[in-house]
Amino acid sequence: MTDSLSTGPICPIPISQRDTIIMGHGSGGKLTHDLIKNVFQRYLSNSFLDQNDDAAKIHLEPDGCMIAVSTDGHVVKPIFFPGGDIGRLAICGTVNDLAMVGAVPKYITASFILEEGLPIETLEQVLSSMAAAAKEADVFIVAGDTKVVEKGNADQIYISTSGIGVVPKHHSSICGKNAKPGDKIIISGTLGDHGIAVLSARNELTFDVSVLSDIAPLNHLIGALLAAAPHTHVLRDPTRGGLGTTLNEIAQQSQVSIVINEISIPVKSAVQAACEMLGFDPLYLANEGKFMAIIPADEADPALKCLRGHPYGKDAAIIGDVHENDPGRVVLKTPYGTTRIIAMLSGEILPRIC
C-alpha cells in the first residue's frame, strides 16, 4: 500500500472474473462495493437494501412509526487494542450507523460466535465493555445468541450486532443522496486514529506510536449537531475504507462533486508520522468515532461551534464543499495549489480493522 492509492489505481480483476473471496472483499472499499453490487444485490435487492445508507429506514404499519435498522459484523484483530476492544466496537459501530441516518438509537441485538477454548475471563471483559458502551450510548441490548465453533474455526470471538432506532419525522430526509451544491463538508475530528491504534496492537510496527482508537458512540453528539444545524443533509461515519471512500460514496449517491482542502483535514501528528513511515494515506484509514456531515452553508458555523464544544467533536473542521459539475468526482486541493482525484479505496490496507 503506497500513496498511489489516493490517485485511484484501477482494480486489476473485476469481481465477475474472480472465483473466490479475497481479503479485499472485506476492505470497505471498491472490492466490497463490487461484491455488494455484483453478488449480494443480484440476489437480495429490494427497496430497503438499495437505500445504500448506513441504516435502512422503514415505516412500520399500521401505526406509522419510522424506524432505522442496521447491522454490522465485528472481527477486529486483536480483540483488545489501545482505546477499546471488540465489545465497545460492536456497540459503537451499530449505534453510529443508526445515528448516521438521523435516527435515535434504541435497541441492539448481539450474536456471538465463540471459539472453543476462549477464556471465560476474556468473554467477561468484552461483555463488561459492551455494557459500558451501551450505557454511554443509552441503548438496550434486547436479544442475544451464542454459538461455539471448534478451536481453529474462529479467532477468539466475533460479534454481529444489529440496531433499531427511531427516526424523528423532521430528520427523515438525512441520507447519502441528499448532498446539494453549495453545502459545506465538516469532519468531526482527526482521521486515522483507529487504524493506527489497531495496527500498533498487532506489533507490526518497528517504531513506537501512542495513539488511542477514537472509538465512541456518536449519537449524543449527532443529537446536539442536529439541534444546531437542523437542515443537515448527509451524515456518514468513515469506518472501513476511510474518508476517501465515504466521500466517493456520497458523490455518487448524490450525483455531485466534492472538493476538500488537504490543509484543513485534521490528523494527529503521531498518525501522520506513522502514515509517512508506512506509506499510508490517512484518508483511507478506518475511524470508529468520527463522522462527516454535509450541511447547508448558512448552518456550517453554528454546527462547527456546537461540535467543538463536545469532547468527541473538539477537533472538528470544515474541510470542503459540494459542487454541481463532474458528478461522482472527489478532488483534493494540496497546500501547493495542485489538485488530485481521490478514488475509492482499492485493495486492502488493514484487514480486520473492525
By three-state DSSP, how is residue 293 classified?
strand
Q: Are 214 and 287 in contact (CB under 8 A)?
A: yes
Please state, in angstroms and rounded to a whole number, the distance separating the CA atoms of residues 245 and 127.
31
Q: Does the CA dihedral 209-210-211-217 come out positive or negative?
A: positive
Q: How many residues touch a copy of itself (CB under 8 A)?
A: 82
- The residues in 96-155 that bind a copy of itself, with binding defined as CB under 8 A, are 106-107, 109-121, 123-124, 127-128, 130-131, 134, 140-150, 152-155
Helix axes 86-99, 120-137, angle to 10 degrees: 30
**88 is a site residue for a copy of itself (CB under 8 A):** no
Shorter beta-carbon distance to a copy of itself: residue 47 or 206? 47
Q: How far is the CB of 135 from a copy of itself (least distance, A)?
A: 10
**CB atoms closer than 10 angstroms to residue 120:** 8
**74 is a site residue for a copy of itself (CB under 8 A):** yes
Pairing between strand 104-115 and 140-149? parallel
Residue from 29, 34, 75, 287 in contact with a copy of itself (CB under 8 A): 75
Place of cell 500498533: 200
- The residues in 233-272 that bind a copy of itself, with binding defined as CB under 8 A, are none
Shorter beta-carbon distance to a copy of itself: residue 158 or 284? 158
**311 is a site residue for a copy of itself (CB under 8 A):** no
Residue from 6, 162, 248, 287 in contact with a copy of itself (CB under 8 A): 162
Q: How far is the CB of 305 from a copy of itself (least distance, A)?
A: 30
By three-state DSSP, how is residue 275 classified?
helix
Q: Are 202 and 344 in contact (CB under 8 A)?
A: no
Tell me, residue by residue from 34 to 73, as one string, x for binding to a copy of itself by CB under 8 A and - for no binding: -xx--xx-xxx-x-xx-----xx-x-xx-xxx-x-xxxxx
Determine the interface stretch with a copy of itself among 162-170, 182-190, 284-292, 306-314 (rule: CB under 8 A): 162-170
Spell out the residues 6+ positions from residue 170 whose beta carbon is closer than 8 angstroms to its own: 230
